[in-house]
Structures are given as C-alpha cells and as structure tokens.
Amino acid sequence: TETHPDPNDPDDIEDYWKNPQRVLKRNLNYINQCFYAGEAFPVICPYFAPAGHAEFFGGKPHYGLGTIWFEPTIFDLEKQQPCFDPNNKSLKEQLDLYQYLVDHSEGRYLVSMPDHVGAADALSHLMGSETLLIEMIERPKLVKKAIDAINDGLEIISKSFYRVVKDEDGGS
C-alpha cells in the first residue's frame, strides 16, 4: 500500500510525484480497486500540474501534498522571453518516468499524455497571473511573442511524449 508523503519532508513530497516506482505502485493500487465496466479502461495519468511544461521553459515547480504550483521566474517580457530547453533535466526525467510506466504496463493500463494545456497557462506559471494580465494589457505584442515561443516548444515536447506513449497502431 502506498503511503502519503511525509508533509515535513520536501524531498519525500517531490519523490512522491517523480519516482517512477512510486508512481506506478500508487496507480496500480488504485487500478486494482476499480471495476472497469462498459467502455471504461484503466489509465495512468502522471501528474506534473496543468501546464507543467512551464518547467521546460525555466519554471520552478513546488511540490505539495496534493498539488504542484510554480514560482514565477519571468518578471519582464522585454528582458526575459520564455526559451525551451530540449536538454532540460526535468523533461528527461519525466520522459523516463513515462517510459518506465509504458515498459511496465504489460497490457494492464494505458499511459496518458501529460496535461500540457495552453501556452498562456504555462506563461502564467512563469510570470504569475497578475503580472501576465498586466502585460496582456500593457504589452500584448510581447505576450504574443512569448506565447508563440511556448507553442513552438510545446510542439516538440508533445511529439516527445507521444513517441513514448503511442501504441503499435499509433494510438495513445
């Protein structure tokens, strides 16, 4: 049985979200307690926060007991534009986690694509909501440029995750 992370140990909380063995064990425990009727099927959805791809653009995640949030790292779009780093350590770790889950599925479950929602959501993680809203009013061209940069990186990121989770027929 999976135990919850120690609320007084930030490293244990981060391990709870990122450790492939722990993620698999927790999800198999859940899957094994469910009855999948009709068109329902077991799926593992690793969680790195909605728009968690902000991390691949320099976002700093903070892992909590039931959530992940981001500390803003961009404070002025004129001086700092988001830049995707294809060699980002966290991107490699997450892809490795996804590969681990796929490799251990043995037909028991599917692995979902990550929750990489819109570019503006990722930009909000990178800047903070208030700062982004002000920039949208005061400097919309810089916001558009930042969103375009995130979308360009997101295309590469999505293809990377898809290559890991797709099945032999190209589905995911």
Q: What is the pLDDT of residue 170?
A: 79
Half-sphere CA count of 22, side-chain side, radius 13 A: 13
CA 15-113-43 angle, to 5 degrees, is: 80
Q: Is 104 exposed, middle or buried (0-12, 13-18, 19+ CB in 10 A)?
A: middle
CA distance 65 to 14: 9
Residue holding tokens 């198999």?
Answer: 28
DSSP-assigned beta bridge partners for residue 62: 69
Amino acid at 48: F
Q: What is the pLDDT of residue 167?
A: 84
Q: What is the DSSP letter of 65?
A: S
Characterise 84 by phi-psi region: left (phi > 0), alpha (psi -120 to 50), beta (else): beta
Q: What is the pLDDT of residue 51?
A: 95
What's the whole-model pTM score?
Answer: 0.92
Residue holding tokens 């593992």?
Answer: 44
pLDDT by residue for the chain (172 residues), tens digit each?
557 889 889 999 999 999 999 999 999 999 999 999 999 999 999 999 999 999 999 999 999 998 999 999 999 999 999 999 999 999 999 999 999 999 999 999 999 999 999 899 999 999 999 999 999 999 999 999 999 999 999 999 999 999 999 988 877 7
Q: What is the pLDDT of residue 1?
A: 52
Any alpha helices (H) in the chain, and if so which ranges? 10-18, 20-32, 89-103, 119-127, 129-138, 140-165
Q: Could you tell me which residues come within 8 angstroms of residue 62 by beta carbon, excluding any fewer than 6 positions away? A: 68, 69, 70, 71
Q: What does the radius of gyration of the chain's CA atoms come to, in whole angstroms? A: 18
